Amino acid sequence: MTAAENPLDWDTSAAADAYRDRDMRLAEQLIFPGVLRRLAGGAGPGRLALDIGCGTGAVAAQLAHIGEWMVQALDPSADMLGIARSDRPHPRISYRLFDGRALDWLGDDSVDAAVCCLVYCTDPDDERLAGLTAEIRRVLRPGAPYLLADLNPAATGVAFSTLRHGEPEAVYGDGDPVPTLLRLRDGTMMTSATYYRSLDRYRSLLTGAGFPSPTVELPTLPAGGTAAETPAETRTAPYMILTTHA
């Protein structure tokens, strides 16, 4: 894997177009099942779930297909939302542009579940994420789940079959930019801008907003064959899933 010269900023049409064509196999195997399993029991007529930082709408579409969630899918990128609306329309999904922080059209205790998938790693602004996390806490009904899935900060530099976040051997601290290579479906790579946060930093963003400390899941694929033959994702988790409740 080789990094392109300039990582793409997320709020650009070039990033949205490239992200539309990403190879989603690892996310589909290692993130979506864990997230959906935790939310399947809560679905029902009129129940509202938020997909915050929905990008091209992959998680929102999965949510709409399990049970009967009404889904508000939110993103600060108009280009991402344009692709989501065209690729993944659904009568129970409403896509909405927002500023990445305020959920001011939603009342206190009015939402039944929230998911934020691969979003915190793309936002360099701790203060905005602290504000967003407090807003998520405010709008969730008491006891409602918040699932925060993201890159595993303990896996920087590992070459997984569809991504590598960070350079091999490099050591990153909170806030450092981390060049992230994503494989596209045609086998080419895109380099995107992500930002390192330690697990403790994620925990403090959640507890600082009033959530209890989360459970942490580090999913890997089942091993088969010799260590030399098996991909890195059988030994190391590319992603983590943090679960907490309002």
Ligand X SMILES: C[S@@+](CC[C@H](N)C(=O)[O-])C[C@H]1O[C@@H](n2cnc3c(N)ncnc32)[C@H](O)[C@@H]1O
Shortest spacing between CB 74 and ligand X, in angstroms: 6
Closest-CA residue to 118 (of 143, 152, 92): 152
Q: Which residues contact 4 (CB under 8 A, 6 or more apart)?
A: 189, 190, 191
Footprint of ligand X on 114-173 (CB under 6 A):
117-119, 122-123, 128, 132
- Which C-beta is closer to ligand X: that of 54 or that of 139? 54
With CB under 6 A as the contact rule, the residue among 43, 63, 69, 75 that binds ligand X is: 75
Q: Which range touches ligand X (CB under 6 A), out of 49-57, 137-145, 154-162, 233-241?
A: 49-57
Shortest spacing between CB 69 and ligand X, in angstroms: 16
Chain-centre distance for alpha carbon 12 = 18
- Applying CB under 6 A, does 77 fall inside the site for ligand X? yes
- Which C-beta is closer to ligand X: that of 11 or that of 21? 11
Shortest spacing between CB 147 and ligand X, in angstroms: 11
Amino acid at site 233: E
With CB under 6 A as the contact rule, the residue among 58, 114, 189, 240 that binds ligand X is: 58
Residue 25, helix vs strand vs coil: helix
Burial group, residue 6, by CB count within 10 angstroms (0-12, 13-18, 19+): exposed
Half-sphere exposure of residue 88: CA atoms within 13 angstroms, side-chain side: 24
- Which C-beta is closer to ligand X: that of 122 or that of 244? 122
List of E strands, 70-220: 70-75, 93-97, 113-117, 145-151, 163-165, 177-183, 189-195, 215-217
Shortest spacing between CB 236 and ligand X, in angstroms: 20
Which stretches of the chain bind ligand X, using CB under 6 A? 10-11, 52-55, 58-59, 75-77, 80, 100, 117-119, 122-123, 128, 132
